[in-house]
Chain A
Amino acid sequence: MELFEAISTKINYWVYIVIMMIGLFAMISKNNLIKKLIGMSIFQTAIILFYVSIGVKEGATIPILYHDQVHAAHGDHGEADTSHGEHGAVESHEADIHINPDDFTNPLVHVLMLTAIVVGVSTLGVGLAITQKLHREFGSIEEHEILEIIKSGK
């Protein structure tokens, strides 16, 4: 039971480890270059999953303010230095808007992962292009066949 609890409360990390190992396996052991690239994508996805799951908070929503919160602030012109509050008790900052950090998931990890996705797309695109070029040159995308052609050519 203890073991079950140890796994179930941290299920995201276990899933992430499994997916990452699948990707690593595909990258290392497959001969087909496209399969290697798929493995790389899986690996990246695992890392993205890991980061996003770190930012999760129980009962929190996406890091975008609610409509009424925005409008409450706009009623007071949304200026940062107007610090008179109509609901003074819940005042958290200089502006008249109360934001509880526990209500929103962590935006930082989402931003970082947006970067990671973009970089992932770029690397995948360049990888596919190189694979296609190799296929054009050697007529194969199998690593060992390409290596053989290179060896026999020299």
Chain B
Amino acid sequence: MSAVSDFPDWGDPHSPANSYRLSQGYITDTFPQTSVPNMVTAVLADYRGYDTMFETVVIFTAGIAIIGILRRYGPKDKVIPEQKLYKKEPDLIVETTCRLMIPIIQLFALYVVAHGHHSPGGGFQGGVIFGASFILLALARDLQAAQKWVPESRILKLAGTGIFIYAGFGFLCLLLGSNFLDYAILHKVMGVTPIEARSHSMLGVEIGVAFTVTAIMFSIYSNLASNGYMKEGL
């Protein structure tokens, strides 16, 4: 607490963290170097590409760990039905609201992913929104209804695909003779200037992130809500 008086004042543009040339450089150089107006996305997906890639791996690992901890297969599935034969009859208001809301939520999620380097957004945010639309479906109906769209086998494939897309961009750069995740070299295959190639590759890796996050978010929810049986939701 005594250290508080040594901290810089609130909103001081010349505090050490704000005046250090790294932060300044990100602000001034991001657009000329990558043609991405959203600096946060640019720093996240380009300058700190490794960080974000392994962040995606962290999410993936968390999903695997939760499945490993909670998921239960086999004979125990037959014990459950007697204790909760709670059949939800479809509620008109809930049904209709969900039918209206879910497409809009998913459309918005795609917008957040696709427009993430021009406005606030990106793979993580869009992925979470997209996963939330499935969670809403699972809450409003039951887990079965949502699993028709994202069955368990598809979850891990989706999550793996996301990481594969991200790492694929990295290795594509490697193959073309540049550093891992150095997107500028991709202009050879994209047919645009090196600067725009970085922008487009960022969109690509954000889509990969979004895949993983969507799948894992729903996986976490469905495992936690159904106590690992994946049979019934809350």
Contact = CB atoms under 8 A, between A and B. Distances in A.
A11 B10 contact: yes
Given A12-B10, A56-B10, A125-B62, 10 more contacts: A10-B10, A13-B4, A54-B18, A59-B11, A64-B120, A65-B39, A79-B193, A93-B29, A99-B27, A125-B224
Interface stretch (B40-48, B144-152, B160-168, B171-179): B40-48
B124 interface: yes
Contact of A122 (B37, B52, B58): B58
B153 interface: no
- Count chain B CB atoms within 10 A of each CB in A60, A92, A115, A117 and give the residue with the most: A115
Nearest to A51: B17
Contacts of B35: 73, 78
Contacts of A117: 124
Interface string A124-148: 0110111011001000000000000
Given A111-B48, A118-B55, A129-B66, A54 B43 contact: no
Interface of A: 6, 9-14, 17, 53-60, 62-65, 69-70, 73, 78-80, 92-95, 97, 99, 101-102, 104, 106-111, 114-115, 117-119, 121-123, 125-126, 128-130, 132-133, 136
B59 interface: yes
Q: Which of B33, B37, B120 gathers the greatest number of chain A CB atoms within 10 Å?
A: B37
B92 interface: no
B80 interface: no
A107 B7 contact: no
A64 B27 contact: no
A54 B35 CA distance: 26
B117 to A, nearest CB: 9
B32 interface: yes
B93 interface: no
Contacts of A132: 69-70, 224, 227-228
A88 B4 CA distance: 43
A64 B1 contact: no
A122 B59 contact: yes
Contacts of B196: 78
B85 interface: no
Contact of A118 (B11, B58, B120): B58
Considering residues B12, B22, B23, which has the most beta carbons from chain A within 10 angstroms of its beta carbon? B23
Interface in B174-225: 193, 195-196, 220, 223-224
| Those 4 A-B pairs whose CB atoms lie nearest each other, nearest first | A122-B62, A95-B32, A58-B11, A65-B37
Contacts of B9: 9-10
Contacts of A58: 11-13
A60 B13 contact: yes
B60 to A, nearest CB: 9
Contacts of A106: 17-18, 23, 27
A125 B24 contact: no
Contacts of B10: 9-12, 53, 56
B13 A57 contact: yes
B32 A104 contact: no
A133 B69 contact: yes
Contact of A129 (B31, B37, B223): B223
Interface core residue of B27, B29, B51, B120 (most chain A CB under 10 Å): B27
A63 B40 contact: yes
